[in-house]
Structure 1
Amino acid sequence: MVAPVAAALRAVLARAGRAAERSGRAAEAVRVVAVGKTKPVSMLRQLYDAGHRCFGENYAQELVAKAPQLPEDTRWHFIGHLQSNKVKPLLAAVPNLDMVEGVDNEKIANHLDRAVSSLGREPLKVLVQVNTSGEESKSGIDPSRCVELAKHVKLGCPHLIFSGLMTIGMKDYSSTPENFKALVNCKLEVCKALGIPTEQFELSMGMSGDFEKAVEMGSTNVRIGSTIFGPREYPNKKQNQ
């Protein structure tokens, strides 16, 4: 019997694949990150056992706690704003951290760069976070400064691999085509300014409520939580990031 979360993941992969094909790309062009925020490792393990390897978390403490409980070939993504004082503990505790989706200023880029160097890790893939909705409550660089921050990461942080851009979207965690279009425009600007081929550039946009539209508009990376795992559960107040 297939575990319910594994069946849910399979449905998401199929939907993402069809959306990729509608955009003229292969289904394999889109990565699905299973975001297990507030969910027990046992649920993530069901997906791992079904063959999935890419998982994401929004809180550094939760990622540090969960990572050792899944096999080493798990590819972890940290998603969202990362506090400076959490950088080195996170990188030290999670050697299989594959990507940080959320570099939103030069300071955090520099912290990550120094931590990767001091720990002797392989270069770390990062995405620059862009605030496409203009909400003050959201982390992310203003779209007008995306080239500036991308250039700093690519040229000034030798231990980081600048891989592309990401956006969280609107306050209710759904996005409009305008949010996605803003990120696509940033991509075109950054690729032109830094001489990066567009087909080698990641766009992380789209979550449970809007990922098909995001993929149709060019997303290469979608972050799916509740559609796979069910509603999030918050027994206590929001954890510190």
Structure 2
Amino acid sequence: MIKENIQEFKSKIPENVTLVAVSKTKPIEDLQEAYNAGQRILGENKIQEMVDKYDALPKDIQWHMIGHLQSNKVKYMAHFVDLIHGVDKFKTLKVINKEAKKHDRNIKVLLQAKIAKEDSKFGLSFDEIDAILTSEEIATLQNIKVVGFMGMATFTDDKDQLNEEFSSLKNFFDLQKQKTEAANCQLEVLSMGMSGDYQLAIENGSTMIRVGSSIFGSR
């Protein structure tokens, strides 16, 4: 079933959109099945669980950390994580840079923008992101690469509200793409959209979607 779900998703999304299969809480066997179906990008939201799965599974998988990040745990995944989605503090960028340097790596990150109307969502305001990208200090972090933004929309069926939230981030992304000059900030990825709202996100310019239950089944 997982194989069919992955194939169906890949047939429905444009070629320029990357599918992250969100495998959090799922057993190794399910992840192996996704791997056998050709899926090479998996997303986890707990570092220890991701480390255990990294140790058990093939090494050509790209691991994405999609959950809220505690900076004191970055060290456990710095040797293998491919992309960190939810960076919402400058302090965290510095920790990622420090840990990446220990492993002679360059770790890609997305800055998480707060676009939802809900107070429960983490994220930076557009002004805070702009301040980070235009700071002199960002250029000194040679072992990270800011490759784009991530946003989580409000959990709602109101398509007008979702469109408004997604389009606001897309417009901001386009603006920053033109003005950001730091060598370690090359904005290419806009991670928006999950199982319930990915189609609207893609219509609004998302280049990466995070899909869990529609691939692996409900948790």
Q: TM-score, normalised by structure 2?
A: 0.90
**Shift in Å at residue 195 of structure 1?**
4.5
Residues 99 and 125 in structure 1, CA contact (< 8 A), matched pair in contact too: yes
1:173 Cα shift?
Answer: 10
CA distance in 2, matches of 1:31, 1:110: 27
2:86 aligned partner, one-letter code:
G
Deviates further, 129-138 or 45-54: 129-138
Percent of residue pairs bearing the same amino acid type: 35
Distance in 2 between residues matched to 1:173 and 1:142, nearest whole Å: 24
Q: Of 22, 43, 65, which residue of structure 2 is paired with 1:56? A: 43
1:133 equivalent in structure 2: 116
Structure 2: distance between partners of 1:127 and 1:151 = 16
Distance in 2 between the 1:104 and 1:33 partners?
20
The 2-side partners of 1:151 and 1:64 are apart by: 33
CA distance in structure 2 between the partners assigned to 1:126 and 1:173 by the alignment: 29
Partner of 1:9: 6
The equivalences for 1:1-241 within 5 A come to 4-17=1-14, 27=15, 29-92=16-79, 95=80, 97-120=81-104, 122-152=105-135, 154-171=138-155, 176-195=162-181, 201-232=188-219
How far apart are the structure 2 equivalents of 1:80 and 1:150?
22
Given that residues 131 and 167 in structure 1 are in contact (C-alpha distance below 8 angstroms), is that contact kept between their aligned partners in structure 2? yes
- Partner secondary structure for residue 84 of structure 2: strand
What TM-score, normalized to structure 1?
0.82
Cα distance in 1, alignment partners of residues 49 and 3 from structure 2: 22
The superposition leaves residues 46-75 of structure 1 with CA deviations (integer Å, 9 ceiling, x where unpaired) of 111121111110111211111111101001
Equivalent position of 1:237 in the other structure:
none
Instruction: Say if 1:164 and 1:154 are closer, same or farther in 2 by CA, change over 3 A.
Output: farther
Structure 1: how far apart are the matches of 2:68 and 2:125?
Answer: 14
Q: Distance in 2 between matches of 1:8 and 1:154?
A: 40
Structure 1 contact 55–77 (Cα < 8 Å) conserved: yes
Write the letter of the residue equivalent to 2:47: A
Contact 2:6 2:37 survives alignment (8 Å): no
Q: Compute the displacement of 1:139 (Å).
A: 1.1
Look up the SS of the partner of 1:185 in the other structure. Answer: helix
Change in 2 beyond 3 A, CA 1:200/1:106 = closer
**Do 2:101 and 2:143's aligned partners in 1 also have CA atoms closer than 8 Å?**
yes
Q: How many residues align?
A: 213
Q: What 5-or-longer segments of structure 1 have no aligned partner?
A: 18-26, 233-241
Distance between the aligned counterparts of 1:210 and 1:149, measured in 2? 29
Cα distance change, pair 47–142 in 1 and its aligned pair in 2 (3 A): same
